[in-house]
Chain A
Amino acid sequence: MTLGVTVNGARYERAVEPRLLLSDFLRHELGLTGTHVGCEHGVCGACTVLLDGEAVRSCLMFAIQADEHEITTVEGLAPSSGDTLHPLQAAFREAHGLQCGFCTPGVLMTLVPFLRDHPDPDERAIREALSGNLCRCTGYQNIVVAVRHACDAHSTPDR
């Protein structure tokens, strides 16, 4: 079947088997290996991408279901020109919000729509938002710090 999909702003058309998962399509067909595959049953969150701007598990969708939709992967976060990071990525680097990095793309893609809807979350809200992303380095502490860091970078100095 033919799939026409926009990924990180670029249009792709590919012939795919219906059983091809979106996660495998992104990695194997498009070479966008930033999307990681962990559990393939929706628990670990490593494969989280944006479907029309909202966070979804790319391992729990068939690629063909993304036909005529828009996908954003971690590769699409930073501006394509130059070596600037997305503010959230910069905050993760600054606050040491990653260790091995395997969970990081999924964590970032979960947080982007979360922070869009909740620009100033408290720690509890951040931890709840991240409850669907597993970090097996158990580095949650600095992930939460990094999120607050990203929020504070955008807020008034007296806060």
Chain B
Amino acid sequence: MKPAAFEYFAPATVDQALALLAAHGGEAKPLAGGQSLIPAMNFRLARPRALVDLNRIAELSYIRSAKGGTTIGAMTRQRAVEQSDVVTRGAPLLAEAMPAIAHPQIRNRGTIGGSLAHADPSAELPAVMLALDAAFRARSVTGERTIPASEFFKGMLETALAPDELLVEIGLRPMPDRSGTAFLEVARRHGDYALVGIAVVVTLDGQGRCKAARIALLSVGDGPVLAVEAGKTLTGQVPSAEMVRAAADAAATRDVDPPSDIHASAAYRRRLVAVLTRRALGRAFERAGATQRGRS
């Protein structure tokens, strides 16, 4: 099928884009990379009355490193994020996850902000941002606000963004010392939506105990899921194979209530959560410099 007719605008600045969104009172949709919106329009699952194309807004495409961390403009292509040395150094978790997003042809067009604002529960970036505790800067004609990742994702394809609001920047704090990260997912074919995926950030204290563990899972709920119980089992503990296994069990049994669909049953997804949590934590602790006792 083909998309239904719409009014098309291609503003050159964020201010123009915000004015257009406000003028259309929720009936205009911002068009970022279009790798999710255009398929939905091709099938007429989405029929926006107007599109505000953000692709001509040069000021939204950048990757910067500063004292306060790494900032990424919302319209930065996923391919640019994947190939950025600034990201590899400042946000290794994000760098590790990028190749798992669909295919190069999609990443050449898809943007970091577009994927986050779309909030697909199977998408990699929302889980990565939740694990990294990212800060999202959003603007509208009435002002600007910063939304923490933990308050941004509201459910299936839903975010905290108002219809006339635009996600403009993603802010990532510098990694604390003695931190380690890992990203893993299981998909039927490379580039397919993951059956389960996981993004992990762990930080150790001076004594080698786990100070914090943020574990975010994808494809197991209506949005990215923070495995709070699994994190709790680790906090204050010296990482060991037993601790990691206990955290993985907590994640699989207490943190998630995964769906069944044609790709995987709930029970299989739970099993994947346990296995991937164990592996990702093991890898992250190792990268954080922990001397693990026993094998996980």
* Residues of A participating in the B interface, judged by any CB pair closer than 8 Å: 1, 17-19, 21, 24, 40-42, 45, 48, 51, 54-57, 59-62, 64-65, 67, 110, 114, 127-129, 131-132
Contact = CB atoms under 8 A, between A and B. Distances in A.
A21 B191 contact: no
A48 B191 CA distance: 16
Q: Indicate the member of A18, A21, A24, A64 with the most B CB atoms within 10 Å.
A: A18
Interface of B is mostly: loop
Contact of A18 (B35, B43, B51): B51
A132 B103 contact: yes
Contacts of B55: 65
A24 B2 contact: yes
A128 B99 CA distance: 10
Chain A contact surface mostly = mixed
B262 interface: no
Interface residues of B, number: 30
B6 A48 contact: no
B105 A55 contact: yes
A129 B104 CA distance: 8
A18 B105 contact: no
Interface of B: 1-8, 10, 34-35, 38-39, 41-43, 51, 53, 55, 79, 102-106, 108-109, 189-191
Contact of A132 (B4, B34, B51, B104): B104
B5, B39, B41, B55 — which one has the most chain A CB atoms within 10 A of its CB?
A: B39
Contacts of B39: 40-42, 60
A114 B103 CA distance: 12
A67 B104 CA distance: 22
Contacts of B8: 1, 18, 62, 64
17 contacts: A19-B3, A19-B4, A19-B6, A21-B2, A21-B38, A40-B43, A41-B43, A51-B108, A55-B108, A56-B108, A57-B109, A60-B39, A61-B38, A61-B109, A64-B8, A65-B55, A110-B105
